[in-house]
Chains A and B, each alone.
Chain A
Amino acid sequence: MAIFPPTKRVWWNEPVEKSEVLWIFIALIWALVMFFMMPYWHINGSQNLSNEAYRIRPEVFAKRTEEMAAKYKVGEEGDTGVPVVRPPAGSDVYMLGRLWEWWPVLELEKGQSYRLHLSSMDWMHGFSLQPENINLEIHPGYDMVLTVTPTSSGEFSVVCNEFCGIGHHTMVGKIHVVDK
């Protein structure tokens, strides 16, 4: 019984029953399959994070974002006063999170790639692109870079899904994806 010491003094040498040996073998194979799926996807999959990141002071990141917004502003999002920015395909695109908004609104072209920079001005935020359901952790002081290629057009929302205080549930941004 498992609540008493093993009955045999040397239990390590006891043979293991067949179905248990078979299960160990099957489980080990499955473990290895799951392990190698991750490097495999880095080679053959299209959804990988680059892990490219830089330390950056929040005011520097804000300045870069504002410069981009001023340069490529094409309008405003409804009556919110938030600029809609359409940077050229392939360029560096910035979006910042702060209490409690994602800024600015981006307009991207379907099928084009952009170097997207994400960072927070204050607390932790969660970049959750809906309805795609792409979720990233956004830190203050770190510039997270990834190359994104929208594969569908329409209006997408950026919901905050890292708790950031009392206004957390009002923190929503937008990305528009347009056909060429």
Chain B
Amino acid sequence: MSEHDSTHAGDGGSIPFMQKLLDSPFILLFIGVAMPTVIYIIWGVMEIVSIPVAP
């Protein structure tokens, strides 16, 4: 691949944290499932079970 020039200026050095994160499908899969499960489903179910019985 001719355009893949790893000696290009600025290409050296270590990979930044955010790029490493975006390159990790399984970590993204975990947080992509955990976030809505906690914020939407678990919080939502807690809201429902805390609805009081009519006086």
| Chain B: interface residue total (CB-CB under 8 A) | 20
Q: Are A55 and B10 in contact (CB under 8 A)?
A: no
Chain A residues 8-61 with CB under 8 Å of chain B are: 8-14, 53-56, 60-61
Give chain A nearest CB distance to B23 CB in angstroms: 10
Cβ of B25 within 8 Å of any chain A Cβ, yes or no, is: no
Q: From B14-22, B27-35, B37-45, give the one contacting chain A.
A: B14-22
Cβ of A109 within 8 Å of any chain B Cβ, yes or no, is: no
Q: Are A60 and B10 in contact (CB under 8 A)?
A: no
Give the distance in Å from the alpha carbon of A12 to the alpha carbon of B20 in the complex. 9
Give the distance in Å from the alpha carbon of A155 to the alpha carbon of B19 in the complex. 61
Task: Give the residue name and chain of the B residue nearest to A64 (CB).
Answer: B54
* Residue of B1, B3, B12, B55 touching A54 (CB-CB under 8 A): B55
Q: Are A55 and B6 in contact (CB under 8 A)?
A: no
Complex A-B: 20 CB contacts under 8 Å: A4-B1, A5-B4, A7-B3, A7-B5, A9-B6, A9-B11, A9-B15, A10-B10, A10-B11, A10-B13, A10-B15, A10-B16, A10-B19, A12-B18, A14-B10, A54-B51, A54-B54, A55-B51, A61-B54, A143-B54
Q: Which residues of B contact A (CB under 8 A)?
A: 1, 3-6, 8, 10-13, 15-16, 18-19, 22, 51-55
